[in-house]
Amino acid sequence: MTAVANRNGIDDFLMGGGGQSASFENIGDRVEGTIVSLEVTQQTDFESGDLLFWDDEKRQPRQQLVVSLQTDQRDPELEDDDGVRKVYVKGSKKAGSRSLHDATAAAVRAAGAKGLKEGGYIVYVHDGTEPAAKRGMSDRKLYSAAYRPPSAEAATGDLLGTNVAQPAPVAAPAVAPVAVAAPAAAQAAQAAAAVPAPAPVAAPAPAAAPAASPVDTAKQYLAMGLGHEQVAQLTGLDVAVVAVVAQQV
């Protein structure tokens, strides 16, 4: 657990509050708001509360990014509900997996940022499910997100995997021409007649272009002048996500 996480935990214990976990029980559930804090913490077992590790030797802790949002949500059963909701960003890092981790990283990239930052605005939407990989397990929840950064970027890109510098293109090595002494005229004509014409070389098939993300597709539709609801229907994104994306176009 980082020093930032410990500092926030001390403040929450002393002053109360600290926020509730965001709820994504049903498809269409969403949470949005201004980022008020960011914490990198170790994941815990949902039932036992034990810390989780990637290895049996417990040397590689499973980390998560806790994003606290100031929202307009209030629970009438909680007297001191301050509207802060926590989103636990974890899950597969694979692009296109639509885990909370992937959705957050995709939103950061689409916004042209390198990571989340306090003061930024983000929308999370639970917009689908995927059948469970094993029998008896719950279906995997799928998410989309849109992010509007403040004026500067943050260092959370290290965890999200969006802060990696792109490698510079490698220039093709120059090939020096090889000088060939000219043969005698008769020998040249005889050699030219004996050598068959080279077979045509087929041009390599062009590499398939990477599939555009729903956020990138939404930007294209918005630039064409389509309305938010139309773009939401065409891309499958929530209207709230489209609204945030529209502010980046």
pLDDT mean by block of 10 residues, the chain; 249 residues: 42 53 92 94 83 87 94 90 93 92 95 94 94 86 94 56 52 47 50 56 56 77 78 82 83
pLDDT of residue 211: 59
Residue 172 lies in a domain: no
Backbone angles phi, psi at 22, to 5 degrees: -65, 145
Residue 113 lies in a domain: yes
Residue 26 lies in a domain: yes
pTM over 0.85: no
Domain range for 78 is: 3-135+142-163
Tabulate helix, strand, coil % of the chain (nearest 5): 25, 20, 55
Residue 7 lies in a domain: yes
Number of domain units in the chain: 1
Rounded distance between C-alpha atoms, residue 15 and residue 4, angstroms? 16
Residue 197 lies in a domain: no
Rounded distance between C-alpha atoms, residue 52 and residue 166, angstroms? 32
CB 83 within 8 A of CB 92: no
pLDDT of residue 14: 41
Residue 31 lies in a domain: yes
pLDDT of residue 212: 65
Residue 214 lies in a domain: no
Backbone angles phi, psi at 188, to 5 degrees: -65, -45
Residue 174 lies in a domain: no
